[in-house]
Copies of this chain bind each other. A is one copy, B any other.
């Protein structure tokens, strides 16, 4: 297995460069002084170039082919067999796109990001439109190089959710739409039966931070292998199971911002911290896909963190921390407040019931833009019409409409569906855990999360990136990804809250 050994050394070097860049990115978003931007850009330029060149070099291809021959009898579930599968996927993906296009993509998106910022600030879609055209064109070309059998969107989706197909997403999303649009409309008529004004009272930021740390620790987040810092755009930085850092932001007059933000990032972090020890410092030592990752942030944030049982344990504690803000609030009122539904314009502020509709709109927009059925010029009108149809609201301007998300300006098309796929899988996984360990809900009411975490670690986290998302869902739940469980979860939970 000499070639396999050499391949592993080479991939480890590339991985180490990538994790160094992840740390540089964490630093840039937390502690880097403003004057460091030029140096940081130069560091990223050099490191990304070296990592890319090492990975797509003919030597890597030669070692990979030779190692595949050596490893053809390896057990499918072994680390080495998985490494070969994942390396092959990544290698083919990175080598199929010619360097010219990679460079052009990087140049255009760097500029497009700046121009999008200006366009959003000035509510000037026309300013961004030519950049959006360029990005659509680049993605079309990217899809052609990557290859697909059915739809060019398959090639893009595959970059973020390996193995997932457009047709499958469309089927699932149509089922969701058929269920969620009527649910949203039903709730909209009695939106005022739930009030969340109590969450806008005065919540000291330092106390929010301390409470967030207390919750994260109790969930099982290991501060010996992580830390919590502030960031303008919260994220989880995983460089391997030994160092998984979370970030959050605080709003003195909007408690959910840090509270559920911290639980959400803790969910991502529990996943990374739970990857197998043997996978550390290899490209398998992270999550299986964006969708699977999101399933974990959402499971902990929503299935656990927004459940009544969770607050049976934590609400008395929260009231101790914020006696003034919560002196006249009871558990039921608090639970209803944190689960208030309101059809709104902004994705990142959306509740569980409306969130998927925001995503479905973006998915449909991307399909239309890529196929040409929606022109760049007509895109804002198409966007607004979908918001009116699905959510019953119309953006007053493009800044609160089609310009709200950063993703397209960075070149990412095919990314959005992973948010909703994560939501669906969060319920499938949670249901399975409860089916196998029926005491989990009762444990949550006592602030005990060890059995749930151990189950997730054993069934999902430990495997890191060894399996494709569909393989993982099959292994864990015994079936494919499905919309049904999520719809049932929404109907049950929100049917109770809104007395539908």
- Contact of A16 with B242 at beta-carbon distance under 8 Å, contacts A33-B226, A224-B35 already known: no
A105 to B38, CA, bound (A): 34
A407 to B32, CA, bound (A): 30
Which residues of B sit under 8 angstroms from A33, Cβ to Cβ? 223-227, 242-243, 245
Contact of B239 with A38 in the complex, beta carbons under 8 Å: no
Quick one: CB contact mask for A209-245 with B, threshold 8 Å, 1 for yes? 0000000000000111111010000000001111101
Within the complex, which residue of B38, B47, B281 is in contact with A20, where a contact is CB–CB below 8 Å?
B47
Among A13, A36, A245, max chain B CB count under 10 A is at: A36
Which residues of B sit under 8 angstroms from A38, Cβ to Cβ? 240, 242, 280-281
Contact of A47 with B280 in the complex, beta carbons under 8 Å: no
Which residues of B sit under 8 angstroms from A32, Cβ to Cβ? 243
Contact of B36 with A242 in the complex, beta carbons under 8 Å: yes
Contact of B50 with A243 in the complex, beta carbons under 8 Å: no
Contact of A20 with B43 in the complex, beta carbons under 8 Å: yes
For the A-B complex with A17-B47, A38-B242, A39-B239 known, give 4 more contacts whose Cβ atoms are closer than 8 Å.
A12-B42, A13-B46, A17-B43, A36-B225
Which residues of B sit under 8 angstroms from A241, Cβ to Cβ? 35
Contact of A39 with B227 in the complex, beta carbons under 8 Å: no
A241 to B35, CA, bound (A): 8
Chain B residue at smallest Cβ distance from A32 = B243
Contact of A12 with B46 in the complex, beta carbons under 8 Å: yes
A19 to B43, CA, bound (A): 8
A471 within 8 A of B: no
A24 within 8 A of B: yes
A381 within 8 A of B: no
A45 within 8 A of B: yes
Contact of A27 with B23 in the complex, beta carbons under 8 Å: yes
Quick one: CB contact mask for A3-46 with B, threshold 8 Å, 1 for yes? 00000000011001101100110010001111111111011011
A/B interface sample: 16 pairs, CB < 8 A = A12-B42, A16-B45, A17-B43, A17-B47, A19-B42, A23-B43, A31-B227, A33-B227, A33-B245, A34-B224, A35-B226, A35-B243, A36-B242, A36-B243, A39-B280, A50-B50
A31 to B26, CA, bound (A): 11
